[in-house]
Each structure stands twice: as structure tokens, then as C-alpha cells.
Amino acid sequence: MSPEQIRNRIPAAALGPDGWAKPWSDNGGSCLEAKRLPGGRVALRQSTDPASPALILEANEIRAFVEGAKAGLADDLLS
């Protein structure tokens, strides 16, 4: 699959079964899985529905999210 074909809402299953990781888990089976893509992009999917549409984030978007979360900028989402 070419990088141009990988876009938001692509079925996550189309990205293949390998390379998915669970860096965020609630230990209850409902996890957000991430997969590194060419060019630094990252695909996200819901682990309980691996064929669901994937969210594709550009390298700068995932970097901003992770750095912001580390800095506490997403803490209000937890309450």
C-alpha cells in the first residue's frame, strides 16, 4: 500500500496485523493501539474493534499530542 493510500478512516485492518502496540491500556481490554507508519505518521485504532476506521496522525500531530499530554495539557480530559 502506498503512503498516499493511507488516510484517515481507512479500515485499520487494511494496515495489516503487525506492528500494533498498546502504549495506552486500561487493563480492561479496551485499549487504544498505535502503529508507526512510514514518514513518521502514526495510526490509532480501538483494540476491541481492530477493523474499525483508523485515525492517521502526522508526525507533528502525534508529537504535539504526546508532548502536551506530558506537560499536563490534557489533564482536564480525565475529570
The confidence score (pLDDT) of residue 24 equals 67
Query: Within 13 A of 3's CA, how many CA atoms are on the CB side?
Result: 9
The answer to whether residue 75 scores a pLDDT higher than 90 is yes
DSSP, collapsed to helix, strand or coil, labels residue 21 as strand
User: For 25-64, how does the pLDDT look when each residue is reduced to its tens digit (9 = 90+)?
Assistant: 666 666 889 999 988 999 999 988 888 999 999 999 999 9
What are the residue ranges spanned by the domains of the chain?
A: 3-78
The confidence score (pLDDT) of residue 26 equals 63
CB 12 within 8 A of CB 18: no
Cell of 18: 503487525
CB 68 within 8 A of CB 33: no
The answer to whether residue 19 scores a pLDDT higher than 80 is yes
